[in-house]
Amino acid sequence: MFGYRVPAPDEAMLISGGRRGLGGAPFRVVTGHGKFVLPVFRKVRFLTLSMCEAEVTETCVTRQGIALHVRAVIAFKVGNDSESIINAGQRFLSDQEQMSVLTGRIFAGHLRAIIGSMTVEEIVTERQKLAAEVLDTSKTEMAKIGLIVDSLQIQSIDDGDTGYIDAMSAPHKAAIQRQAQIAQAQANQAAAEAEQDAARKQAEYARQTAVVKAEYSAQVDRAQAEAAQAGPLAQAHAQQEVLAAQTELAQRQAKLRQQQLVAEIVKPAEAEAERVRIIAIADAERMKIQAAAAASHDRVALDRMLIDQLPQIVKEAAGGLAGANVNVLNGADGLGEIAAGLVAQGLTILDSVRNNLNGGSGLKPADSPEQANGRLELQGPAAPERRTGEQK
C-alpha cells in the first residue's frame, strides 16, 4: 500500500521527520509492525538487529613480560530495546559495518589489559576465566553504543619463538607420553591376553569339535556294527528259541515217559510188594496164632498130665510122712489140715511147672517127682504144727 512501510523481523525501522522520538531522539523506532509514512515529509531508514561477528588478533604481553599472540572471536548485535536501537542508530545507521570494526577494537584493548595482569599458566589453563573478565569489563562500553555481546571465544594463544608454552607443557607432555606408553603397554598386554584367550578358546573349541566328531564317528561305527550284526543276532535268537522249544518238548516227553514207567513198572511193583508184605504179615500172624494155639495145647496137655500125676505126687509125699513121728492135733480136723496142705503143695508144684513152660523160674525139666518131693515144704497158715516124739 502506498506510504505503508513494514520492517523485517531482524530490522528496526527508523522514521525521521515530524514528531521527535523517545527521549528527544531525532527519529521514531518501529519494530515488529508496519506504519504509514508520508512521503516527502517523512524519511525511513532500517537498522539491522541480526547477529554480527568481530574477529580480534592481538599481541599481548603477560605479567611475566612474555608476548602472546591471541586470536578471539566476538558475537554481538544491537539490543532489542528502543534505547539500544537509538544509541546504535545514531552511531552506525549511516555505516553499519563500523559496528564490527569498533567492537573489535574495544575488545582488543580490554584483552590486552586483562592478559597483562595474568601469567602464561593462568591464561593457558583458564581461558574461560579470561573470556569472562573481558566480557565483564567491556559490557558497559558496549551498552553505551547500543550493542550487546552474546559470546567471546578465544581461539588460539601462541608465544611465537619463545618456546615458553612448549617448555611449560614439557612435563605434562612427558607425563602424558608416559601415560600413553603405559596405556599402550596395557593395551598391548590386554591385546596379547585377548589373543591368548582367543587362542585358548579356539583350541578348546577345536578339541570339543574333535571330541564330538570322534563320538559321532564312534556312534556311527557302533550303529553300523549293530546293523551288520542284526541279521546273525536275529537268526541266532530264532535258533535259540527253537532249541528252547525243542528242549521244553524233550523235557515234557521225558516227564511223560517217566509217568508212563511209573504207571507201567513202579506202580505194579509197589502193588506186588504190598501184596507180598500183606501176605507175609498174614502168614506171620497165622504162624503166631498157630504157635499160640500150639503153646496153649501144650499147657492143656501138661496140666492134664500134672493133674493125672497129682495123686501120685500126693501119695509120694504121704509116703514120706509115714515114717515120721507126727502128733496130730485137733483130731480129725488136724488130719484134714495136713491133707489140705499136701494138696496145696501139689497145686504149687503144678503152678511151678506151668511157669517153667511159660518161660518163668521154678522146677527145671530135669527135676523128677522124687527130687521135687525132697524139696517139698509145708507152707501156709493151715500147715499143721509138727513135733518129733510127741503125741497129744
| Cα–Cα distance, 86 to 94 (Å, whole number) | 13
| Cα–Cα distance, 86 to 93 (Å, whole number) | 10
User: To 10 degrees, what angle do helices 98-116 and 82-92 make?
Assistant: 100
- Read off the C-alpha cell for 134: 573481558
Beta strand 43-48 with 27-30 is unpaired
What contacts 320, CB < 8 A, 6 or more positions away?
A: 373, 376
Q: Which residues of the chain have pLDDT under 50?
A: 1, 321, 324, 326, 328-329, 331, 335, 360-392
DSSP 23: G
Q: What tens digit of pLDDT does each residue of 335-378 get?
A: 456 556 655 665 676 666 566 655 544 444 444 444 444 443 43
| Cα–Cα distance, 262 to 266 (Å, whole number) | 5
pLDDT at residue 203, as a whole number: 92
Please state, as a whole number, how many other Cβ atoms lie within 10 Å of the Cβ of residue 317: 20
pTM of the model: 0.42
pLDDT at residue 177, as a whole number: 86
